Amino acid sequence: MKFVPWVVSVVCLALLGWVWQDSQAKLAQKDAELVNMKQQYSELVADANVKIAAASSKAKQIAEEANNQIKQLADEANDKLQQANQREVPVSVGFRKALMSNGHVAMFTNTSAQSIAVVVEVSRASSGQTRSFDMTLDSGRKRELGEREGWAFVTGDTLTLSQPEHKSLIVKF
């Protein structure tokens, strides 16, 4: 019986050593898990940063495209506004039946106080034909365009009169 306290002490010491070793093993395992988690966290942060950078780049690209579209629309609106504020070509247009040829004749009268140069573009939607005529119109004078000049007007023809710094005049026959 005198060895019982020694045996109990050895058993306790062995038990204490085993508990200490077990806790060290668990601590090492938790350290390894922590290192693994830190590595995963770093990878996730790096991945998130790459995605944020890509999204930021894409957002910049979209913003740039939107700005370009806004600029283009603003330019188009300014052009249309400028055209709308221009005076119309000072010409009146009428039509009459051709007397000795086919179709109709367009009659152009300069309503301004001075001679003007205009471009008359005629088109026929049914056949896709188009033709352009340069004309000089004296003040208050009438000029005609018909088959003899190269175009016999028929129903559905469209003519557009253009003059620099003036709004085009579009007439449909």
Q: Does domain 91-172 have CATH number 2.60.40.10?
A: yes
- The three-class DSSP label of residue 147 is helix
Cα 110 to its chain centre, rounded Å, is 42
Q: Is 79 exposed, middle or buried (0-12, 13-18, 19+ CB in 10 A)?
A: exposed
What residue ranges do the domains of the chain occupy? 1-85, 91-172
- The three-class DSSP label of residue 148 is helix
pTM of the shown model: 0.51
In tens digits, the chain (173 residues) has pLDDT values of: 778 888 888 889 999 999 999 999 999 999 999 999 999 999 999 999 999 989 998 999 999 999 999 999 999 998 888 777 788 888 889 999 988 877 899 999 988 888 889 999 999 888 888 999 998 888 888 888 888 888 888 888 999 998 888 888 888 88
Q: Report the amino acid identity of residue 17.
A: G
Looking at the chain, list the stretches that DSSP marks H as alpha helix, in order from N- to C-terminal side: 4-85
Q: Report the distance separating Cα 109 and Cα 89, nearest Å.
A: 11
- pLDDT for res 18: 92
- pLDDT for res 19: 92
> Of 168, 169, 150, which is closest to residue 94 (Cα–Cα)?
169
End-to-end CA distance of the chain: 133
> What letter does residue 121 receive in the DSSP assignment?
E
- pLDDT for res 125: 85
- pLDDT for res 151: 83
- pLDDT for res 167: 84
**Lookup: tokens for 173:** 């026959």
